[in-house]
């Protein structure tokens, strides 16, 4: 597939990276209002095909852009994100802006407060283009489980953009936003990044506040950034990270200036290759791209170390007990009483309000997971499922602790395959779960990971996953940036000229 190159400032603003745009804004070559308008033009041109956005916020975004332009004119209180247009996954609550979590249940839900990450991005002067599509309550790997229809992969519109943060990956890949936020419970940032040639980072558990993140599995969920290179991810991460008294699981560790640590120098860095991640079942094109990436790292002076993570194959079963168990508890709040959908008028009694509303409000995958969770926690099955899964989680964590005594980062494929066709895995829930085989263990262990563009297989992007120890985001970002300095995969953008050439002026909102 043909790809278009981007290079500031000869290219269109929607093709720039955040740091390129920040330079242009400071040099007064463009205003934030113009930059924001360019993105709404792009959204109008492509989003009826990509379908990344659930809600477009044109009025408030232009007002935020005007405020940013005032700050830029004064030259005071500037951050690298001042005036930068972003998209937000619709699982992050936004004050007075509808937040659906991709569910029918929250179709008309207007949150009364902002998530902490929103407060932080607002004070950094960011501009919010809209809210992004996702699998319902972040359960899925393709964005097909959204109650509002699937998002399409800009690299091939017949394929999925990954999930659950598929709107967040697709909008960055399609030039509809310069960066975005997603959430990652079992791979929901890294896997969609891999499938769309974007950079997606899952921070260490506790690095970013979950206050205002609609909960799926509370011991696994983390919010993180999508962007077109490691430097942009560094800027986004250093803005949203940090201790928050509103989230008792956020950790009070100082936030490094991640962008300043992108030195390009990884000489002597020890890269672990876990044999359990290089096995049959991975597409040959994916394996080849990852092996070539490892060669690049060798040339950059990294040392390759063979390691073993012996409990890898139990990650998926362990996750599919722990995540649904936590989900079944978290989603008990959707009862037709407090907020969201309610069938109280037609229900015959209180119990019927719960049961009818939940039958109507939850899609098939969410129901399946709630039921698996309820089963695993139920009397007589708790020890065999939930308790055992928590023990296996300890073993998986121990695998990583031992591995990081031998290496600084771990390199693996992000996903066993490139983007699959929309509809291909919908009939068999377990085949969908396999898309997260290589990303799930990091959530169970609480460590950080980033997926970076690592090449192409039959025209489709391949992601390379870099895993780091707890709070080692600087290390994986430095390795990601060093790779980008000697490769050009991340500079390729999907060619949507067939879509933009069509004479249609359908307003998307």
Partner 1 sequence: MELTRDEVMRIAQLARIKLTEEEVTSLASQLSNILGHIAAMQEVDTSGVPISASVLPVTNVMRADAAEPSLPIDEALANTPEREDNFARVKAVLE
148 binds partner 1 (CB under 8 A): no
How far apart are CB 393 and partner 1 at their closest, in Å? Answer: 4
How many chain residues touch partner 1 (CB under 8 A)?
70
78 binds partner 1 (CB under 8 A): no
Question: Near partner 1 by CB under 8 A, which window of 13-21, 272-280, 290-298, 369-377?
Answer: 369-377
Element (H, E) at 71: helix 58-74
Nearer to partner 1, 394 or 497 (CB): 394
Q: Are 487 and 464 in contact (CB under 8 A)?
A: no
Strand partners, 156: 153
Nearer to partner 1, 109 or 278 (CB): 109
Q: Are 340 and 109 in contact (CB under 8 A)?
A: yes
| HEC secondary structure over 389-436 | HHHHHHHHHHHHHHHCCCCCEEEEECCCCCCCECCCCCCCHHHHHHHH
351 binds partner 1 (CB under 8 A): yes
Nearer to partner 1, 25 or 392 (CB): 392
Look-up of token digits 């260490």: 204
313 binds partner 1 (CB under 8 A): yes
Nearer to partner 1, 15 or 312 (CB): 312
Alpha-carbon dihedral of residues 141, 142, 146, 151, nearest 10 degrees? 150
How far apart are CB 34 and partner 1 at their closest, in Å? Answer: 36
98 binds partner 1 (CB under 8 A): no
279 binds partner 1 (CB under 8 A): no
How far apart are CB 243 and partner 1 at their closest, in Å? Answer: 11
Among 128, 362, 438, 483, binds partner 1 (CB under 8 A): 362
Tell me the three state secondary structure of residue 381.
coil
Alpha-carbon dihedral of residues 165, 40, 80, 483, nearest 10 degrees? 50
Task: Say which residues have a Cβ less than 8 Å from residue 427's Cβ, sequence separation at least 6.
Answer: none
Mind giving me the DSSP string for 97-159? B---TT-GGGTT---SS--HHHHHHHHTT-EEEEEE--SGGG--SSSTT-TT----BTTBTTB
Indicate which residues carry an active-site annotation: 89, 164, 188
- In the range 208-267, which residues lie near partner 1 by CB under 8 A? 219, 245, 248-249, 251
Question: Near partner 1 by CB under 8 A, which window of 59-67, 167-175, 317-325, 448-456?
Answer: 317-325
278 binds partner 1 (CB under 8 A): no
Among 158, 378, 497, 509, binds partner 1 (CB under 8 A): 378
CB burial of 44-79 (b: ≥16 within 10 Å; e: otherwise) equals bbbbebbbbbbbbbbeebbebbebbbebbeeeeebb
Nearer to partner 1, 247 or 424 (CB): 247
Distance CA 208, CA 30 (A): 32
How far apart are CB 342 and partner 1 at their closest, in Å? Answer: 4
Q: Is 4 exposed, middle or buried (0-12, 13-18, 19+ CB in 10 A)?
A: middle
Nearer to partner 1, 255 or 329 (CB): 329
Q: Is 51 left (phi over 0), alpha (psi -120 to 50) or beta?
A: left
281 binds partner 1 (CB under 8 A): no
Distance CA 190, CA 286 (A): 15
Nearer to partner 1, 59 or 383 (CB): 383
- In the range 390-409, which residues lie near partner 1 by CB under 8 A? 390-395, 397
How far apart are CB 66 and partner 1 at their closest, in Å? Answer: 27
Q: Are 199 and 262 in contact (CB under 8 A)?
A: no
Among 173, 289, 372, 452, binds partner 1 (CB under 8 A): 372
Footprint of partner 1 (CB under 8 A):
108-110, 112-113, 205-206, 219, 245, 248-249, 251, 311, 313-314, 316-318, 320-321, 328, 332, 335-340, 342, 344, 347, 349-356, 358-359, 362, 367-368, 370-372, 374-375, 378, 384-385, 387-395, 397, 428-430, 433, 444-446, 470
């Amino acid at each position: 597939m043909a790809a278009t190159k981007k290079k500031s400032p000869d290219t269109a603003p929607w093709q720039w990276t955040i740091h390129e745009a920040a330079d242009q804004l400071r040099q007064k070559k463009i205003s934030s209002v113009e930059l924001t308008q360019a993105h709404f033009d792009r959204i109008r041109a492509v989003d009826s095909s990509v379908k990344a956005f659930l809600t477009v916020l044109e009025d408030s975004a232009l007002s935020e852009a005007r405020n940013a332009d005032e700050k830029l004119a004064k030259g005071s209180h500037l951050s690298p994100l001042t005036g930068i247009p972003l998209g937000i996954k619709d699982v992050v609550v936004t004050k007075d802006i509808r937040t659906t979590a991709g569910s029918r249940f929250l179709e008309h839900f207007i949150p009364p407060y902002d998530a902490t990450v929103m407060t932080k991005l607002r004070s950094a002067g960011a501009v919010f283009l809209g809210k992004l599509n996702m699998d319902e309550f972040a359960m899925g790997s393709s964005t097909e489980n959204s109650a509002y229809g699937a998002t399409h992969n800009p690299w091939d519109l017949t394929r999925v953009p990954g999930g659950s943060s598929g709107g967040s990956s697709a909008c960055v890949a399609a030039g509809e936003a310069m960066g975005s936020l997603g959430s990652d419970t079992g791979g929901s940032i890294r896997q969609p990044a891999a499938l769309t040639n974007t950079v997606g980072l899952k921070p260490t558990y506790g690095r970013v506040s979950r206050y205002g993140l609609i909960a799926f599995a509370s011991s696994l969920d983390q919010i993180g950034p999508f962007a077109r290179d490691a430097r942009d991810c560094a800027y986004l991460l250093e803005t949203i990270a940090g201790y928050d008294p509103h989230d008792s699981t956020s950790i009070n560790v100082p936030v490094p200036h991640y962008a300043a640590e992108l030195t390009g120098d990884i000489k002597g860095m020890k890269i672990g290759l876990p044999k359990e991640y290089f096995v049959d079942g991975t597409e040959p094109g994916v394996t080849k791209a990852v092996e070539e990436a490892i060669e690049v790292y060798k040339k950059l002076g990294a040392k390759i170390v063979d390691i073993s993570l012996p409990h890898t194959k139990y990650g998926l079963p362990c996750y599919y007990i722990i995540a649904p168990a936590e989900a079944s508890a978290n989603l008990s709040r959707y009862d037709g009483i407090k907020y969201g959908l309610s069938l109280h008028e037609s229900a015959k009694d209180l119990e019927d309000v719960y049961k009818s509303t939940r039958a109507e409000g939850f899609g098939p995958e969410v129901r399946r997971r709630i039921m698996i969770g309820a089963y695993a926690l139920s009397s007589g099955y708790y020890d065999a499922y939930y308790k055992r899964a928590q023990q296996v989680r300890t073993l998986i964590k121990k695998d990583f602790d031992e591995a990081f005594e031998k290496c600084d980062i771990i390199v693996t494929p992000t996903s066993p395959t490139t983007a699959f066709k929309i509809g291909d895995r919908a009939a068999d829930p377990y085949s969908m779960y396999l898309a997260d085989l290589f990303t799930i263990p990091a959530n169970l262990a609480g460590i950080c990971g980033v997926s970076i563009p690592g090449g192409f297989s039959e025209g489709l992007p391949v992601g390379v996953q870099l895993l780091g120890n707890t709070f080692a985001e600087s290390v994986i970002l430095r390795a990601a940036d060093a790779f980008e300095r000697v490769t050009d995969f991340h500079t390729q953008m999907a060619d949507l000229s067939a879509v933009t050439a069509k004479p249609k002026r359908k307003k998307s909102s």
